[in-house]
Amino acid sequence: GGDNSTPFIVMVVGAGRGPLVRASLRASERSDIAIFVYALDKNPNAVVTLRNMRITENWLEKVEVVHSDMRDFNPPVKADILVSELLGSFGDNELSPECLDGAQRFLKPDTGISVPVSYTSFIAPISSSKLHQEVKAYNDVKHFETTYVVKMHQHKVLSEAQECWTFEHPNLDTPIDNTRQCTLKFDVTRASCLHGFAGYFDCKLYGDVHISILPRTFSTGMFSWFPLLFPIRGPMYVPAGSQIELQLSRCIGNGKVWYEWAVSSPSVGPVNNVNGRSFSIGL
């Protein structure tokens, strides 16, 4: 607890057009705990919007707008709470781990809290000739080695999604290693055709509060994210009662982050996107 003379310091990184700033101030009023918010964004348009909101919403005493990349910002004080919404459909696919690792130095050591606290990626094998045809229409390997955010209407999930990996914040590991790999085995009851995989996330904001696009824990009203499609080059026949084995990695090198994925059962397929040759995200 803090008394009203020393407000809690909240830093919203990637403040955008202000929804998390507004939510933080609302929580402050509801809980009757004073806060001071640093609203940080590197996008000049967002900063203009935030500066206008500061005046129109009467935030002058409570909000400081900072035009900066979170990697360069040197705040005058340490934060009690670091608030962000940097998630992609697969959790870490928009570099939330790297961004928050860079921003966690803003937090008070030992007591500082990140919202979100953690997020976990999940993946499931799917059958969808429609999605396969759409990727195939490009007529090159590159598009089969790229992930897509897709609203999946016509598809069948062949086996329940499984957990890939988790990122936690603040990350106290030294050194921090954000590479990940997993090998998953999916039991398939019915004969089917594998066309790729659908990626999801479940995010723990704080305590027992989660937001999720994983079908079995889906949060009501989560329209901001659709699943992430990992295609495979050739459709693969999967006999009834067999297993699909997937090897998936999150790789880092040469200033970029990328995924590599390969099916090793029921038959062996190629490693997709080796060294991020077709698709990567720049750090």
The residues carrying an active-site annotation are 85, 94
The CA-based diameter of the chain, rounded to the nearest angstrom, is 67
* 3-state DSSP assignment of residue 15: coil
Are the C-beta atoms of residues 134 and 155 closer than 8 Å to each other?
A: no
Can you tell me the distance from the alpha carbon of 154 to that of 13, in angstroms, rounded to the nearest whole number? 36
User: Which backbone phi and psi does 89 adopt, to 5 degrees?
Assistant: -60, -25
- Non-local CB neighbours of 174 within 8 Å, separated by 6+ positions: none
126 vs 130, 185, 199, 204, CA distance in Å?
Answer: 11, 14, 10, 26
User: Which backbone phi and psi does 50 adopt, to 5 degrees?
Assistant: -65, -40
